[in-house]
Amino acid sequence: MYRIAIDIGGTFTDCVVLDVQGNTTVVKSPTSPDDPCRGVLGAVEQAAKQLRLSVESLLQNTDSFVHGCTIATNAMIQRSGCKTGVITTRGHEDTLLIGRVFQKVAGLSERQITHISQLHKAEPPLVPYELIRGVSERMDCRGEVVLPLNMREVAEAVASLVGQGVESIAICLLWSFLNPAHEQAIKGYIQRSYPELFVTSSHELVPLLGEYERSVTTAINC
């Protein structure tokens, strides 16, 4: 049996195959930015060729296939991802921009964090303020509806973002991880009205406490 690990990098997609005796086969295949799957399949084909197996035989005898990538990291560094809009609870449109100070220190070592007074927030922001829309709705901390979702505002918000050329929309509402009904309604409306858009709801991707963390993770995915 084999174990396969693949990582999609900016230039090459790397593949390592480990057999039961501990022998490793290492190959590379050019990454295909327009469709990363081609680079993955190309790497598997290269590994199969070195092992003198067909792709089908290699995969049939593989009990673990681990896949990682740096696509999101590269998109953030290069700011090359698709144009993304955000829909959130009205009054909380600044969540991504404020970042509850955590934005300054995310990913830094303890030594780097000691110099927090000299740190700055990311510029430009992950999603610019003009592509963030708030809609009237509210869940409380028990997941109970305090204010029903205003679908008219949802329609106006989505139409406005589409008019500004967004290709994807991130949905992150307060306390949605306890009651996702409003996020589900917004996502359903977008999928019916604008099926060409990519949509991510925070309750599906990261259903955890932490408004900023949920918002930024959902935006990065989009």
Whether the CB-CB separation of 169 and 161 falls below 8 Å is answered with yes
- Distance from C-alpha of 16 to C-alpha of 106, rounded to nearest angstrom: 30
Extents of the domains making up the chain:
2-74, 82-221
Structure tokens at 155: 């329609």
Q: How confident is the model at residue 83 (pLDDT cuts 50, 70, 90)?
A: very high
Burial 81-98 (b: 16+ CB within 10 A, else e): beebbbbbbbebeebbbe
Average pLDDT (23-37) is 92
Give the 3-state secondary structure of residue 9: coil
Q: How confident is the model at residue 10 (pLDDT cuts 50, 70, 90)?
A: confident
Three-state DSSP state, 201:
strand
Looking at residue 118, its pLDDT comes to 79
pLDDT of 141 reads 95
For residue 179, the SS3 value is coil
| Digit-coded pLDDT (tens) for 164-206 | 999 999 999 999 999 999 999 999 999 999 999 999 999 999 9
Angle subtended by helix axes 151-163 and 181-193, to nearest 10: 50
Supply the mean pLDDT for the chain: 93
Judge contact between 179 and 149, C-beta under 8 A: no
Contact 87, 200 (CB under 8 A): no
* Per-residue pLDDT at 58: 97
* Tokens at 222, concatenated: 């989009």
Phi, psi dihedral angles at 130 (to 5 degrees):
-70, -10
> Under a CB-based contact definition with an 8 Å cutoff, are residues 86 and 131 in contact?
yes
CATH architecture for residues 2-74: 2-Layer Sandwich (3.30)
Mean pLDDT check: name the lowest of 23-27, 44-48, 71-75, 81-85: 71-75
State the Cα–Cα distance between residues 84 and 222, nearest whole angstrom. 6
